Amino acid sequence: MSAGIDVRRLSVNLVSLVLLVLLIAPPVSLLGAENLAGEASEDGVDAKLQSAIENLTSIQQSIELKRNAIRELREQLKQLEETSDKQEIEQKIERVKSDIINLQQSFDHITLNGVNFSVLADQPEQRIKWQDEIEQISRPILSTLKELTAKPRQMDGLRRDIERREDQLKVIEKALDSIRKFKQQALAPVVAEPINQLMIEWEQRGDDTQRALEIAQFKLAGLKTESETWQTSTGEAISEFFLGRGLTLLLATGISLIIWMVSRALLKLYWRWLYRTRNDIGVKRVPLVLYSYRLAASVIIILAILMVFYVRGDVLLLTLAVIALAGAALSLRQTLPRYTAEVRLLLGVGPVREQERLVLDGIPFLVESVGVFSVLRNPLLEGVVRLPLHALNSLTSRPAGQESWFPCEPEEYVVLANGGFGRVVRQTIEWVELAVLDSRVQITTKDFLSENIRNLSKDGFGIASTFGIDYQHQAICLDKVPERFREGIIARFEQAGLRDDIEDILVEFTAAGASSLDYRIYIILNGRAASAYFRAQRLVQQACVETCNREGWIIPFTQITVHTADDTNDTKGI
């Protein structure tokens, strides 16, 4: 897992580096410009030239003095016999030679106005081992970044060198002050001679340090006045970019767009020839052919971009492109199993397929499309679910068939598991809103589905009631009474405007109760009468009472038999 994170971080860093180089690289050549500022006056140029001549004269005099010093040291070396003394003189000679080399380089630098000699040097070919291939590939990027910061680094180095030389001068001055104090004293010849020699060496060292300080200051001043006016620099930078790297990028982009448009045109011709349609239906019909074609087109575009970089000779862009491809390949190694599963989903051979049914969080959904973000929708619910492609690997779909997608629709009437009666106002993939007793109630869709919901509006409903008459009507209880009850119920429902909603009526004698002859009344109503669910129950009772009043039938009440103590004793005596 950590390797995958490192690779992704490397890819992000490489992309950032590409943008940095492409935006800043064009002005690189301007950093090495060697022309003096166009706004400097002729008097300023002459003054600078005169200062340079004075520095050159001072440097050359120092070189001659140091050469004479080397001759004297070599004469002393010939006269010495002690090995330690010889080594000390040889070290002094090497130090003076190093100073002469530095002075000569400073002389050449001032004379040639800071020309870079490394450009003129012949670079012999060196054999590179396979371990150095990465370094060889990254060398153009590092070289470009180095050139971008060349001038600021030079100026910073000169400032630090000036500070160091100034500190050295302070130390040398302190040392000379100390030596002068001793020279002012009356010293024996054996002590005076080394003191004089030490004075000469420190004075020479002070002169050399002062000269090095002046050279560093001269170089820093030259770098500060070495740039052109910003209008000229900006114009040349823009011109160089559009004629160089900008043109390369434009060509690569143009060729990529041409290949992409041609591939799309060929694909449309293929659909028109094969399926006689202009629409892109390859995802549904032949996903393997479609995605293979797109993959081949992408590979051709990448190769075309690399070819443009190669033909144009832009090593930097070519290197960055190769590094980006290598980073993509490394990241692909870590994510290949996941991509393989996603490719199976795109090709329609995975656990989830388009136009099939799957259950997510207890809610059924229709898989409308499978893509980078797959679309799931329930035809009877508001809203849509978009899932990333990899999330479908843990789900399973199946053919939808003729199954219902949801137990109800808006404006239908339902009875909840707790007996509550309500009208569906709105239903989404998250909430179901009901109107219950003139108030709004929200239930999560998942909980709504988990209840035993009765939809009265979809398939109709039935009402069951029980009604009893007195035993004195026993003679007509099996034929006349059920018929009169049936007629009365139909008449009552017709008065209420519900006659056409009756599907069937069943009135049967069910039992001889303790105090009444009981009848079972069952009415089946269609879904249009769902809003009159409770009213229909009341209408049945009203119709039965009205029939009894019209026919003169007695409605009994529950009788209670009370037994007294005397009755109990009499029973025992029998």
Quick: pLDDT tens for 206-233.
Answer: 888 888 888 888 887 776 665 544 445 5
**Listed range (40-54, 57-71, 170-184) with the worst mean pLDDT:** 40-54
**What's the pLDDT band for 464 if we cut at 50, 70, 90?**
very high
- Whole-angstrom distance, CA of residue 93 vs CA of residue 255: 65
| 540 or 285: which leads in pLDDT | 540
| 71 or 283: which leads in pLDDT | 71
Which of 245, 32, 179 lies closest to 118 in space, CA to CA? Answer: 32
Q: Are 24 and 148 in contact (CB under 8 A)?
A: yes
**What's the pLDDT band for 522 if we cut at 50, 70, 90?**
very high
**Listed range (15-29, 81-95, 403-417) with the worst mean pLDDT:** 15-29
**What's the pLDDT band for 319 if we cut at 50, 70, 90?**
confident
Q: What is the pLDDT of residue 564?
A: 47
Query: pTM score, two decimals?
Result: 0.47
Q: Please state the rounded mean pLDDT for residues 38-44.
A: 49
Beta strands in 428-516 (DSSP E): 431-436, 439-444, 454-455, 461-469, 502-512
Residue 104, pLDDT above cutoff 70: yes
Q: Please state the rounded mean pLDDT for residues 304-319.
A: 85
Tokens matching residue 356: 């099939």
Q: Please state the rounded mean pLDDT for residues 51-58.
A: 78
DSSP string computed for 497-545: T-GGGEEEEEEEEEEE-SSSEEEEEEEEE-GGGGGGHHHHHHHHHHHHH
Tokens matching residue 41: 């006056």
The single-letter code of the amino acid at 469 is I
Residue 543, pLDDT above cutoff 90: yes
Tokens matching residue 566: 């005397």
DSSP string computed for 172-217: HHHHHHHHHHHHTS---HHHHHHHHHHHHHHHHHHHHHHHHHHHHH
Query: CA angle, 294 as apex, 288 and 295 as ends, to 5°?
Result: 85
Q: What is the CA radius of gyration of the chain?
A: 52
Q: What is the pLDDT of residue 125?
A: 55
Tokens matching residue 287: 């996903």
Q: Is 18 exposed, middle or buried (0-12, 13-18, 19+ CB in 10 A)?
A: middle
Tokens matching residue 478: 């099996």
Q: Are 221 and 158 in contact (CB under 8 A)?
A: no
Long-range CB pairs of 219-224 (<8 Å, 24+ gap) are: 219/109, 219/114, 219/158, 220/155, 220/158, 220/159, 220/162, 221/48, 222/113, 222/114, 223/151, 223/154, 223/155, 223/158, 224/155
Helix axes 83-111, 189-224, angle to 10 degrees: 30
| 336 or 9: which leads in pLDDT | 336
Q: What is the pLDDT of residue 237?
A: 64
| 324 or 280: which leads in pLDDT | 324
pLDDT in tens, 66-87: 888 888 888 887 777 777 777 8
Tokens matching residue 118: 């490394």
